[in-house]
Amino acid sequence: MLQGVNLACVRGDRELFRDVSFSVAAGSLLQVRGPNGSGKTSLLRMLCGLSNPAAGEILWNGTSVRSRDGGYYADLTYIGHSSGTKDDLTALENLQISSALAGFEITAVQAVEALRRMGLKGREMLPVKVLSQGQRRRVVLARLLVCKTALWILDEPLVALDVSAVDLMRNLLEQHLQQGGMVVMTTHQEIEIAAAAISQLQLS
Amino acid sequence: MFFWIIKRDLLLAIRRQSDVLTTLFFFVIVVSLFPLSVGPEMNLLRTMAPGVVWVAALLASMLSLGRMFANDYSDGTLEQMLVSPQSLSLLVLGKATAHWLVTGVPLVLMGPVLGIQYDLPTDALFVLTVALLLGTPVLSLIGAIGAALTLGLRGGGVLVSLLVLPLYIPVLIFGSGAVEANMSGIAFDAHLSLIGAFLLASIVFAPWAAAASLRVSLE
């Protein structure tokens, strides 16, 4: 279970939010909403331990994520705004390396399988720089298929995706939630996800 | 994981060879300019050879420091490294090793070839190679700290040289000192042992310091 307790975020001398509390239990999805500049990405980066909250605490199964010893990072998949792919490497190499970095070493066969499921058949051996924005995004999201982590933190995962890819993402999210996974995500697009527990966090 | 990082960085270096060649050509050209400008005075050339080779190696290694983390920073890979369950110090050690393989090893291989221009005797060439082999990884490791500290800063290139050059000085002194000692017929193994000690110390401390700097730079 992921908990945020009275979190506050300060950027420069501007306070983006304060007293934000939430908890995400197994099988539930937390959607972070708010206008541009309200601190959605800052909150997600905070949850990943990339920045420290100005006040408050983030707990994973009761231990603070800052201590780095609660096994938090082995359970976490973070997909942020920047792709984390290398233009000069092929889709296959990118997927293999990014999953190895996340602690899941996969074979080329598994990687090809995942890329095909993301609708990239025939593009596996192309360098990422020749792919379109949407296809690059699919390469990044393919990591969700191979890394079996409990908590997904997704920052605008639907950007640049077409209708069929959004459908695919919806299925993926529903499946993950059914298996007891947790999702924290931001999106400006409307997406109907059938899940038992969906909560919304509004940042103003 | 350590090997994945090395493999990835080597793959990237192969796909984008200009980065590697820039460093190597810089080294070759700087070292070759001195005999051309000083003139064919063998004794003078022999005396200045170790210093010139080492200073050129220092500058060449520094030339590519800016790129060590900058690309990973701009495309988001570095964020992924920070949220990885793997130890960040180990990942940094992998990156520094890859940096050495790409920029340091060519310098080690070219060092003795360039030494011939300075009429260095064979055993001095050998000592020069060993000293470079032990010393260039130290340059990459210490450089990683500087590169991590100046990540994302404007004018980081100048700042990194100011930060890192003072720390390079011991390597420079003992590296060229080993060759000079050999040429003047005294024992040179103390110099090499000291460079080896620098290497061991930097393998232990530099990845840790660079990892801490990366966390600060990314916040």
CA–CA distance, A30 with A204 (Å, rounded to integer):
16
Do residues A118 and A141 lie in contact, with contact meaning Cβ atoms separated by under 8 Å? yes
Q: What is the pLDDT of residue B127?
A: 94
> Do B82 and A50 make contact, defined as CB atoms within 8 angstroms?
yes
Judgement on whether residues A10 and A54 belong to the same structural domain of the protein: yes
pLDDT digits (tens, 9 = 90+) for A98-135: 898 888 888 889 999 999 988 888 888 899 889 998 89
> Do B8 and A93 make contact, defined as CB atoms within 8 angstroms?
yes
In chain B, what residues touch A71 (CB-CB under 8 Å)?
85
Judgement on whether residues A71 and A155 belong to the same structural domain of the protein: yes
- The most distant pair of C-alpha atoms in chain B lies apart, rounded to whole Å, by 58
Distances (CA, A) of A60 to A116, A150, A198, B146: 33, 11, 19, 33
> Do A78 and B80 make contact, defined as CB atoms within 8 angstroms?
yes
Which residue among B74, B75, B83 places its CB closest to the CB of A76? Answer: B83
Domain ranges, residue B12: 2-218
In chain B, the residue whose alpha carbon lies closest to the alpha carbon of A53 is B219
The arithmetic mean of pLDDT across residues B107-125, rounded, is 92
Do residues A139 and A85 lie in contact, with contact meaning Cβ atoms separated by under 8 Å? yes
Q: Specify burial of residue B212 (Cβ count, 10 A radius: 0-12, 13-18, 19+).
A: middle
Judgement on whether residues A51 and A113 belong to the same structural domain of the protein: no
> Do B82 and A80 make contact, defined as CB atoms within 8 angstroms?
no
How much is the pTM?
Answer: 0.90
Residue (of B193, B206, B151, B142) closest to B169 by Cα position: B142
CA–CA distance, A1 with A11 (Å, rounded to integer):
28
CA–CA distance, A35 with A44 (Å, rounded to integer):
15
pLDDT score of B26 more than 90:
yes
pLDDT band at A203 (very low <50, low <70, confident <90, very high): confident
> Do A73 and B218 make contact, defined as CB atoms within 8 angstroms?
no
CB of B90 within 8 Å of any CB in chain A? no
In chain B, the residue whose alpha carbon lies closest to the alpha carbon of A46 is B219
Judgement on whether residues A101 and A123 belong to the same structural domain of the protein: yes
pLDDT score of B135 more than 80:
yes
Do residues B76 and B85 lie in contact, with contact meaning Cβ atoms separated by under 8 Å? no
Judgement on whether residues A7 and A57 belong to the same structural domain of the protein: yes
φ/ψ of A12, rounded to 5, equals 65, -125
Number of domains in chain A: 2
> Do A49 and B82 make contact, defined as CB atoms within 8 angstroms?
yes
pLDDT band at A38 (very low <50, low <70, confident <90, very high): confident
> Do B80 and A98 make contact, defined as CB atoms within 8 angstroms?
yes
The whole-angstrom distance between B94's CA and the closest CA on chain A is 12
Judgement on whether residues A10 and A65 belong to the same structural domain of the protein: yes
Do residues B116 and B125 lie in contact, with contact meaning Cβ atoms separated by under 8 Å? yes
Q: In 3-state terms, what secondary structure has residue B84? A: coil
CA–CA distance, B115 with B205 (Å, rounded to integer):
32
Alpha helices in chain A (DSSP H): 40-47, 91-101, 108-117, 133-141, 143-146, 163-178
> In the structure encoding, which two tokens stand for residue B77, read together?
């890979």
Judgement on whether residues A5 and A101 belong to the same structural domain of the protein: no
- Rg of the Cα atoms in chain A: 17
The arithmetic mean of pLDDT across residues B66-95, rounded, is 90
Number of domains in chain B: 1
Q: Specify burial of residue A194 (Cβ count, 10 A radius: 0-12, 13-18, 19+).
A: exposed
CA–CA distance, A204 with A62 (Å, rounded to integer):
28
Any idea which of A119-128, A177-186, A192-201 has the lowest mean pLDDT? A192-201
Which residue among A73, A81, A105 places its CB closest to the CB of B84? Answer: A73
> Do B79 and A50 make contact, defined as CB atoms within 8 angstroms?
yes
Q: What is the pLDDT of residue B145?
A: 94
CB of B216 within 8 Å of any CB in chain A? no
The whole-angstrom distance between B86's CA and the closest CA on chain A is 7
The whole-angstrom distance between A139's CA and the closest CA on chain B is 14
Judgement on whether residues A170 and A200 belong to the same structural domain of the protein: yes
Q: What is the pLDDT of residue A105?
A: 87
CA–CA distance, B64 with A88 (Å, rounded to integer):
18
> Do B75 and A87 make contact, defined as CB atoms within 8 angstroms?
yes
Q: Residue A57 belongs to a domain with what CATH number? A: 3.40.50.300
Do residues B76 and A81 lie in contact, with contact meaning Cβ atoms separated by under 8 Å? yes
Judgement on whether residues A169 and A189 belong to the same structural domain of the protein: yes
pLDDT band at B40 (very low <50, low <70, confident <90, very high): confident
Domain ranges, residue A111: 82-149
